[in-house]
């Protein structure tokens, strides 16, 4: 597992007071070291301050800044942290705005700013020269010779590959970080001095998110703080750390003390995304330069305290507003997909089995929404409940009341007699509650639904969800089969929120009341007889394990291709207050065994829309042999 902790820092500075600035920079470095960080990125020109103006033409300022870099190199001796610090540099009678990359007493390389802004409030070209064409050069300073100099530098310690750009570089059409990422850099640092204007912080935030997504990288951004000159502009010390389109951490701007923010970066996640994304690989063909790789070795890159937030429910957004938007979007995708199938076939009726459980409830909500959009009467939705040996009054009443409140063509067909006859025909003892006993009921229900769909010229809509498909928790050629499946890429943890969303936002009081009770009902296929109190005896999560664990395993196994050791590590971190380690290991073992052995069911799935980042359709995201061995993963 390759995690690394990084920091963005904003020291208190005093314009042109180099000694003062260096002491605060040292304080931030020590703070980052105490937090076990292996990279700290400082603002642009923070040695001198960004707003020195024509003082940048003063030889004395440049000489003092060089001495400050020398002092920081000495200070960094025997410190296991990569430091990116902003300072001016004179090269061939030109002044460059540079990032000095320092490790363990040595300048590993110097990266010049590629693009020099000279518009609106910026007039950097008055002092600085752009470095976009500088590659494979070397610099000699009084205290160190042959320092690599150029925009094509990548600093590498094992799997950790660092690239750097400076402020305006990010705002350009093709930022240098795009090329550095294609060259292998998976952590980008930006040393910046971005002033504040109304709404600019939101735009900056969006730029960083999007660049980290396009580059499939981490992006560590540090901007100059409030102690820059306020003659015409104000700076806020904005600090952000992003990873592949997600902001992991950002600060409250306008702080008046030395500040750092830290976050743990998942390098394996980034590298795996790049491996899967063939467009990223193909783009590397157009890299306009050869990377100059500077190697060094961290003494110990281990993260001592793993404080990265790991969401227990990775398919479900944490933010309530984002979650609501997600639910609305998924309903739109599901209804658009079903509407297309209905209009293409010319079918004006649908058939669905309603159990009073979550999945069939969600599917019916989708059908109703689709029929309303297409102006097809709800009476054309044929809803069928099929009580069996394990059907409880609670689920039965919820199914009946829900369908009637929605105004569907509701029908009831009891399957007990048909199943008893079938047991007799195949010579199976009715007292033997094995897999045959359960599957007979599931297949009887599917046969009824299929035949009524034929009789009524309707489309049988399937109800099974992504989590059930992953575990193979479906009867082959039973509830596993339909004419179109609307829930096939919706995991169980998200099904709950979709039904809750419908209860809160899109339902009458009576329907909302029914939905809430369905949400409170234990998940069960109800294929075994009720208990002595008439309650559900067969609870799915008692048999296969908690769906929140299985959805977690599924996300990291499929979406990130994570190794078992990492999946278990993250699960134990995320669920540490809910399940003990042995419980997590037990259900992970169950997940792997069932995922591999049940592939044959996924190889014969009906059509259905992909709504999220994972689909197990054999025609889409997941193509796996049904006879692959799981033993390597256990």
Instruction: Tell me: is residue 200 an annotated ligand-binding position.
Output: yes
Query: Is there a binding annotation on residue 437?
Result: no
Q: What are the backbone dihedrals phi and psi of residue 196, each rounded to the nearest 5 degrees, phi first? A: -100, 135
Q: Which of 44, 168, 196, 273 is catalytic?
A: 44
Residue 468 annotated as binding? yes
The answer on whether 455 is annotated among ligand-binding residues is no
Q: For 103-160, give the secondary structure using H, E and C.
A: ECCEEEEEEECCCCCCCCCCCHHHCCCCCCCCCCEEEEECCEEEEEECCCEEEEECCE
Task: Give CA separation, 396 vs 6, 351, 359, in Å.
Answer: 55, 18, 15
Of 93, 107, 81, which Cα lies nearest the Cα of 4? Answer: 81
The reply, when asked if residue 463 is annotated as ligand binding, is yes
Tell me: is residue 601 an annotated ligand-binding position: yes
Q: Which residues of 534-555 are buried (b: 16+ CB within 10 A; e: fewer)?
A: eebbbebbeebbbbbbbbbbbb
Is residue 121 marked as binding? no
Buried-exposed string 55-93: b where 16+ CB fall within 10 A, e elsewhere: ebeeeebbebbbbbbebbbebbeebbbbbbbbbbbebee
Residue 587 assigned ligand-binding role: no
Among residues 5, 38, 64, 113, the one annotated as catalytic is: 113
In angstroms, the CA 481 to CA 462 distance is 7
Q: Which two tokens stand for residue 546?
A: 């908690």
Q: Residue 439 annotated as binding?
A: yes
Helix, strand and coil content of the chain, in percent to the nearest 5, comes to 40, 20, 40
Q: Is 302 part of any known ligand binding site?
A: no
- Return d(Cα 223, Cα 42) in angstroms, integer: 7
Q: Which of 52, 98, 167, 215 is catalytic?
A: 167
Distance separating alpha carbons of residues 507 and 607, to the nearest angstrom? 28
Residue 351 region, left (φ>0) first, then alpha (ψ -120 to 50), else beta? Answer: beta
Residue 436 is labelled as binding a ligand? no
Cα–Cα distance between 505 and 119 in angstroms, integer?
48
- Asked about 167 being catalytic, the answer comes back as yes
Q: Report the DSSP pairing between strands 160-166 and 153-157.
A: antiparallel
Residues 6+ apart with CB under 8 A from 63: none
156 is annotated as contributing to ligand binding:
no
Residue 310: phi and psi, rounded to 5, are -120, 115
Q: In what order do the strands lie in the sheet with 350-353?
A: 409-412, 381-385, 350-353, 459-462, 484-485
628 marked among binding-site residues: no
Query: Known binder of ligand: residue 476?
Result: yes
Query: What is the C-alpha end-to-end distance of the chain, expressed in Å?
Result: 17
Cβ 516 vs Cβ 510: under 8 Å:
no
Q: Which residue is listed with tokens 């600093």?
A: 155
Structure tokens at 226: 């409030």
Helical H runs in 13-158? Answer: 18-34, 59-76
User: Annotated binding residue at 356?
Assistant: yes
Helices of type H across 457-580: 466-471, 492-505, 509-520, 540-543, 547-554, 564-574
Is 475 annotated for ligand binding? Answer: yes
Binding residues for ATP are: 353-360, 463
Binding residues are: 119, 194, 200, 353-360, 439, 463, 468, 473-476, 601
Binding residues for deamido-NAD(+) are: 439, 468, 473-476, 601
User: Which residues are known to be catalytic?
Assistant: 44, 113, 167
């Amino acid at each position: 597992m390759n995690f690394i902790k990084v920091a963005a820092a904003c020291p208190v500075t005093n314009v042109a007071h180099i000694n003062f600035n260096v002491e605060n920079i040292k304080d931030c470095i020590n703070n980052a070291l105490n937090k076990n960080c292996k990279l700290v990125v400082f603002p642009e020109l923070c040695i001198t301050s960004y707003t020195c103006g024509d003082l940048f033409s003063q030889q004395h300022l440049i000489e003092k800044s060089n001495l400050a870099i020398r002092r920081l190199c000495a200070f960094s001796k025997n410190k296991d942290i990569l430091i990116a610090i902003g300072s001016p540099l004179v090269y061939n009678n030109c002044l460059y705005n540079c990032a000095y990359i320092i490790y363990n007493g040595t300048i590993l390389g110097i990266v010049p700013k590629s693009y020099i802004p000279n518009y609106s409030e910026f007039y950097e070209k008055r002092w600085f020269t752009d470095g976009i064409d500088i590659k494979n050069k070397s610099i000699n300073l009084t205290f160190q010779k042959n320092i690599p100099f150029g925009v094509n530098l990548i600093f590498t310690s094992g799997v950790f590959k660092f690239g750097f750009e400076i402020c305006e570089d990010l705002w350009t059409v093709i930022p240098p970080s795009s090329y550095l990422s294609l060259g292998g850099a998976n952590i980008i640092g930006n040393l910046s001095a971005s002033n504040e204007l109304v709404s600019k912080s939101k735009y900056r935030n969006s730029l960083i998110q999007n660049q980290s997504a396009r580059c499939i990288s981490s992006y560590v951004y540090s901007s100059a703080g409030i102690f820059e000159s306020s003659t015409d502009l104000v700076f806020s010390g904005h600090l952000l750390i992003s990873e592949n389109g997600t902001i992991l951490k950002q600060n409250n701007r306008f702080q008046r003390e030395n500040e750092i923010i830290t976050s743990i970066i998942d390098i394996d996640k980034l590298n795996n995304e790049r491996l899967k994304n063939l467009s990223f690989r193909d783009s590397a063909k157009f890299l306009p330069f050869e990377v100059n790789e500077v190697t060094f070795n961290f003494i110990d890159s281990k993260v001592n305290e793993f404080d990265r937030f790991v969401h227990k429910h990775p398919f479900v957004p944490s933010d309530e507003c984002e979650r609501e938007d997600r639910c609305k979007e998924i309903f739109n995708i599901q209804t658009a997909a079903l509407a297309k199938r209905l209009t293409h076939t010319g079918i004006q009726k649908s058939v669905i089995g309603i159990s009073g459980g979550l999945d069939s409830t969600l599917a019916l909500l989708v059908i109703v929404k689709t029929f309303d959009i297409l102006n097809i009467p709800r009476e054309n939705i044929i809803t069928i409940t099929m009580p069996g040996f394990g059907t409880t009054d609670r689920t039965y009443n919820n199914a009946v009341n829900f369908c009637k409140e929605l105004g569907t063509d509701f029908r009831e067909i009891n399957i007990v007699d048909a199943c008893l006859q079938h047991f007799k025909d195949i010579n199976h003892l009715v007292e033997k509650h094995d897999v045959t006993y359960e599957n007979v009921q599931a297949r009887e229900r599917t046969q009824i639904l299929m035949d009524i769909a034929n009789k009524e010229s309707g489309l049988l809509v399937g109800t099974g969800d992504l989590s059930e498909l992953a575990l193979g928790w479906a009867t082959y050629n039973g509830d596993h089969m339909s004419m179109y499946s609307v829930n096939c890429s919706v995991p169980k943890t998200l099904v709950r929120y979709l039904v809750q969303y419908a209860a809160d936002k899109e339902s009458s009081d009576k329907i909302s009341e029914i939905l809430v009770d369905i949400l409170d009902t234990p998940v069960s296929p109800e294929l075994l007889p009720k208990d002595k109190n008439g309650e559900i005896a067969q609870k799915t999560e008692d048999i296969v394990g908690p769906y929140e664990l299985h959805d977690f395993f599924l996300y990291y196994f499929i979406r990130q291709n994570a190794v078992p050791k990492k999946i278990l590590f993250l699960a134990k971190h995320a669920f540490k207050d809910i399940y003990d380690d042995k419980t997590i290991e037990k259900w992970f073992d169950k997940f792997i065994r069932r995922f591999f052995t049940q592939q044959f069911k996924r190889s014969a799935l009906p059509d259905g829309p992909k709504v999220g980042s994972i689909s197990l359709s054999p025609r889409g995201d997941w193509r796996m042999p049904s006879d692959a061995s799981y033993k390597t993963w256990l």
